[in-house]
Structure 1
Amino acid sequence: MMPKIYIAGKISGEHYDKIYNKFNKAECELYSKNYAVINPTKIIAQDTEWQEAMRICIKELVDCDVVYALLDWKDSEGAKIEIELAKKLGIKILYQNKK
């Protein structure tokens, strides 16, 4: 069974095309490494309020084996919460490398 990986990164305050491209690129890379990928941009509608989006995302994150932190995760309150939660729950974290 493929390990499940959740992508964490900055969404709020970004243009949707930029967000979608950034998360999609990461999803493709992770899928090619045999992960079952949870991409927040595919499970949250654009107009969802932040708190509701976080509730949905956290429910997905807690069932994952790994969290993948995009380069900009430290610029996002939501991603910082997700990374901290993953650490507390003993979920492995992979950090995106600059290319």
Structure 2
Amino acid sequence: MKCYISGKISGLLSEQVTAKFRQAEQQIRAFGHEPVNPLDNGVDKEASWNEHFVADVALLLECDAIYLLKDWEASKGARIEATIAEECGLEIIFQPQYAIF
């Protein structure tokens, strides 16, 4: 199952974002699924939020599930992605509370 990772990115340090999304990839692989990381969306890091969001939604729509990180509700983009996933019938998976970062 392809599983899109969704969580807060804006306003955080690049290193912090990279670490938590890479950890989420490991968690998804441990569950036996294929992670889809929006940090690897092919869009230049300096591109606008809108450009990233369009690419991210395209990735999401190719997935079977969305993996919502613990901080997803603090992100406008993640909240929208969660709504899209729900409306499209994707499986919703919440990051376990014991995940560290």
> For the superposition of Structure 1 and Structure 2, which TM-score range results when normalised by the shorter chain?
over 0.9
Which whole-Å CA distance do the structure 2 matches of 1:29 and 1:96 have between them? 9
Q: Can you give the 5+ residue segments of structure 1 that lack an aligned partner in the other structure? A: none
Q: TM-score with structure 1 length normalisation?
A: 0.93
Aligned to 1:50: 49
Q: Which moved more, 1:36-45 or 1:15-24?
A: 36-45
Moved more, 69-78 or 33-42: 33-42
RMSD: 0.9
After the TM superposition, which segments of 4 or more aligned residues of structure 1 sit over 4 Å from their partners? none
Count how many residue pairs are aligned between Structure 1 and Structure 2.
97
Percent of matched pairs sharing the same residue: 33
User: Which consecutive residues of structure 2, in runs of 5 or more, have no partner in the other structure?
Assistant: none
Query: Residues 11-49 of structure 1, C-alpha deviation per residue, up to 9 Å, x if partnerless?
Result: 011100000000000101111222111111122432121
The TM-score normalised by the length of structure 2 is 0.91
SS at match of 1:79: helix
